[in-house]
Amino acid sequence: MPPIGEIIRNSQIWKSVFRHPMPVDRRNRIVVMLTNFFLHLHPVSIQKQGIALSYTWCMGGVTFFLFLVETVTGVLLMFYYRPTLEWAFHDILSLRDDTSLGILREIHRWGAHAMVITVWLHMYRVFLTGSYKPPREFNWVVGVILLLLTLLLSFTGYLLPWDQLAIWAITVGSNMARATPFLGHEGPGAQLLQLDGVKMITDGSDARFGLLGARFVGEETLNRFYVLHCVAIPLAVSLLLAIHFWRVRKDGGISGPM
């Protein structure tokens, strides 16, 4: 009787999933990169120095992995959380006190902080190795937008526990928007936007109102931030991530001395 591993690898089910033998020899190590959906993001072979940890710090990869962790824990958290004034805080309380294996929110929160830090370190490394230089200029721009979206993801998520820490941090942060030039009701130039003496920019129509959905951080804000945090920004990030990775390959692969 052959070993059990061999029986599994020779079965029709296994072979239908993995269309090649185990990647133990050179040929199959190449084939695996081309035939596996998750691996085909990579090239088949790569500069040895380009993947040295002391060169790349692995921070881009770590940031992406943290994004996946945030997505998985985020979906699980959505099972337990209702974004309403009545329930938001209570749901977080019961997450802490009643849910079994109650470290879901911890992983999500610390993962989010870590993601902000690793995305900065990734940018730091790319700058210090001059990897933004031609032909990678545009991918650096995509990266800056992703950095901004990471901060906005974290910012919108900060409100959801609906405790004192949350609403006042968002109040302080969003108060800036009321001073947006022309578009904030306390911003320079807003008074110029008048029609027959009627102000177009008021506290009920300015940039801050657009952000909060109200004149102060309230239930509309909670709903708005929830949708931004769970749907809108992750979708935008996913699209830009795809472009970011694709462009790494198209712009000459991982950077090295030109």
Residues 90-119 that bind another protein (CB under 8 A): 92-93, 96, 103, 105-107, 109-111, 113-114, 116-117
Footprint on residues 207-226 left by another protein (CB under 8 A):
216-218
3-state secondary structure at position 171: helix
The minimum distance between CB 71 and another protein, in angstroms, equals 14
User: Per rule CB under 8 A, is residue 58 in the interface with another protein?
Assistant: yes
* Contact by Cβ (8 Å): 256, 50: yes
Compare residues 14 and 127 and give the one whose CB is closer to another protein. 127
Q: Name which position in 9, 20, 47, 213 contacts another protein (CB under 8 A).
A: 47
* Contact by Cβ (8 Å): 120, 59: no
Torsion sign over Cα 239, 244, 246, 250: positive
3-state secondary structure at position 84: coil
User: Per rule CB under 8 A, is residue 20 in the interface with another protein?
Assistant: no
Distance, CA of 108 to CA of 90 (rounded, Å): 18
Q: Name which position in 7, 14, 21, 51 contacts another protein (CB under 8 A).
A: 51
The minimum distance between CB 3 and another protein, in angstroms, equals 22
User: Per rule CB under 8 A, is residue 162 in the interface with another protein?
Assistant: yes
Please give the backbone phi and psi of residue 188, each rounded to the nearest 5 degrees, phi first.
-60, 135
* Interface stretch with another protein, choices 3-11, 13-21, 124-132, 234-242 (CB under 8 A): 124-132
Distance, CA of 46 to CA of 51 (rounded, Å): 8
- The 171-210 site mask, x for binding another protein (CB under 8 A), equals xxx-xxxxxxx--x-xxxxxx-------------------
User: Per rule CB under 8 A, is residue 127 in the interface with another protein?
Assistant: yes
User: Per rule CB under 8 A, is residue 13 in the interface with another protein?
Assistant: no
The minimum distance between CB 5 and another protein, in angstroms, equals 19
Footprint on residues 62-91 left by another protein (CB under 8 A):
62, 65-66, 69, 89
Distance, CA of 233 to CA of 227 (rounded, Å): 9
Distance, CA of 175 to CA of 159 (rounded, Å): 14
**Residue 112 contacts by C-beta under 8 Å, 6 or more apart in sequence?**
66, 70, 153, 154, 157
The minimum distance between CB 16 and another protein, in angstroms, equals 21
How many residues lie near another protein (CB under 8 A)? 99
* Contact by Cβ (8 Å): 238, 119: no
